[in-house]
Structure 1
Amino acid sequence: MPTVPSSPYSDPRGSLPSVGITTFAGYPFYRADMTPDLVVVGIPYDEGATGKPGARFGPRAVREASMLYTYEGMEDRFYDADRDRWILTGKRIVDAGDVDIQPLSREDNWRAIQSVTADVLARGAVPALIGGDRSVTHAALRAFRDRKVHYVQLASHVDCDFPDRDDHTHGNTVAHILKEDLARSVTVVGVRGLSQNGRGVAWARERGVRIVTASAMRLHGPDAWVEELQDGPVYVGLDIHFFDPAAAPGAGTPEPGGFFFHEFSDIVEALAVRHAIVGFDVVEVNPFLDDRGAVTSQLAARCLLELAHGALRDRAAAGPSGS
């Protein structure tokens, strides 16, 4: 005789992807009495986009795609088959929903983003932000001002298009981070293509930004530039166009010659071994351009879990083979 559940309402963790209220990977919705290790926050803002809008719907799409990771038996951890290890075992991860974005109110929205990020930090947790366009990183990093993090941006663009202007677009984010002195250092990894301002790139280099091109990253791997980072905490900003359009078609500004997940995973591993990852974001997912079954949203969800492991890592539990 089948077992009758004690309640007809299912906890999404450990259930089928189609079951339960959609939160990130089925993790519980955040309550004030919780003491989480990591808090997922959606930032549905894309008024900084200069191309096709739609990244404001990124948080919803990424959460929906993340429900794939709620299979039975995965209640409090995930098995990483590629590295034969368990990750996020027993980690207290929660979903706080979205920042309440108001149309055409950039300063109000950015204050809200900064405030929510600061609140997560004040509770001793890691903020894991889902954009939204790249400009939201500027607002989030204001919450880290006193911590002086190293900012590592994984992206095809340097985002210093017009450093002499006050444009608060996704193409000028690094310029504003530098102007406000929000980071101890800035490193941009994966730079390639023709769709950026060469003068802005030169301006960034003059101010100490380390630019690792896609070809250099492939030639030398992540250790070469990670080892050059001085001691200190790291904030990682992942732009989905870091990846090749074949892997991430749902990017607002795609650039050929990009990367794939295994290369991203190697970067996170190299960073996490040497530095504390104290915050991160995954941005620029545009579900309206994701025309092959939400593969970009799925990739973004997987990347967020990988970054969460990097931020919360301790000695990994052994996999089934005992390694």
Structure 2
Amino acid sequence: MRDIAIIGTPVDLGAGRRGVDLGPGAIRYAGLKERLEELGYRVRDKGNVAVPLAEQLELPAAGEKLRYLDAITEINIQLAREVQAAVADGAFPLILGGDHSLSIGSISGVARGRRIGVIWVDAHGDFNTPETTPSGNIHGMSVAALTGRGNPRLASLLGGGPVLRDSDVVMVGIRDLDPAERAALRQSGIQVFTMHDIDRRGLASVMEEALMRVSMGTAGVHVSLDMDALDPAAAPGVGTPVLGGISYREAHLAMEMIAQSGKLLSMDLVEVNPILDAHNVTAELAVEFALSALGKRIF
């Protein structure tokens, strides 16, 4: 029996719309702990990383490239230390968001002292830097920062340089990229599977290749699941919905294949926005997908 450490990170400072700070509570309310225990896990809810309200902070100055940089850096350092401690205790870190800027901290903590692979399931590439961002929202810069690009405070959060190698990152479900971000991704060593690839090849083929790539030479795999990877018809409670996403069953299949690989080290569930949701359905889906990634099977 394995321990799972739930760590909430109710941050919305990296996003353009408010509300994802309520995501960890919504996911908990959907029965995450109890349903994981039904699978046979020992579950410890570590509570939430301390996150200031936007109202407590000074508004970003006009023309400032990175909104709330100081606060987001501190939140991610705290989260990285919490995750690192959970790993040291032999637990599986399950991080609840919150916006996708939190992955800078979660993945930094998981990867401390070892090489890991990352499967980034998202509608967006999150590969902007201060030079390319049209919005200044740090949740759109997480993969860039983790691979050593952009602001040095984010790109080397705990010191020691880039957290991830380009070759150890695979993106799945991408369908909305900014122009300069698209160009930067093409020049990187990151494998990007767009919705076009999923439509042509099928999700199973894409996931087989993704898992093979991120498993080569790594200690295991972190999955960062942004709920806007799903089609908004299935998951309406997200801040940046994009039509044409993966289906309910495709998302389950991806998580089931990750579970069957035996490589999963840790997981983020991010960008659940209950304010924009209908009857908490998006948070309930997040719980279902976590269960599939952690071994729940149909038969």
TM-score range relative to shorter protein: 0.7 to 0.9
Aligned length: 260
Q: Which amino acid aligns with 2:213?
A: E
Verify: 1:116 aligned to 2:82, yes or no: yes
8 Å CA contact 2:24, 2:97 repeated in 1: yes
CA 1:205–1:36: 2 relative to 1, 3 Å = same
- Cα distance, 1:75 vs structure 2: 9.3
Judge which range, 92-101 or 115-124, deviates more: 92-101
Superposed counterparts of 1:65-214, under 5 Å: 65-66=30-31, 76-77=37-38, 88=39, 90-103=40-53, 104=57, 105-143=71-109, 144-162=111-129, 164=131, 169-179=138-148, 180=155, 181-184=162-165, 185-193=168-176, 196-214=177-195
Shift of 1:294: 1.3
Question: Secondary structure of the residue that 2:7 maps to in structure 1?
Answer: strand
Q: Percent identity?
A: 30
Read off the aligned partner of 2:119 and give its amino acid letter.
V
Query: In structure 2, what is the equivalent of residue 269 of structure 1?
Result: 256
Asked if the contact 1:38/1:308 (under 8 Å) is kept, the reply is no
Find the aligned partners of 2:36 and 2:179 in 1 and give their Cα distance.
48
Is residue 56 of structure 2 the alignment partner of residue 56 of structure 1? Answer: no
Mapped contact 1:37–1:93 kept (Cα < 8 A):
yes
Helix, strand or coil: the match of 2:225? strand
Q: Which of 218, 229, 236 is the matching residue for 1:242? A: 229
Render the CA deviation track for 1:6-57: whole Å, top value 9, x for unaligned.
Answer: xxxxxxxxxxxxxxxxxxxxxxxxxxxxx9611111110110002x111011
Cα distance in structure 1, aligned partners of 2:76 and 2:175: 29
For the 8 Å contact 1:154–1:236, the answer to whether it is kept is: yes
Q: Secondary structure at the match of 2:87?
A: helix
The equivalent residue for 1:227 is 212
Structural RMSD (CA): 2.4
Gaps of 5+ in 1: 1-34, 78-87, 311-315
Report the AA paired with residue 151 of structure 1.
V
Report whether the alignment pairs 1:40 with 2:3. Answer: no
Contact map agreement 1:234 1:275 (CA 8 A) in 2: no
Is the helix fraction higher in 1 or 2? Answer: 2
Shift of 1:117: 0.7
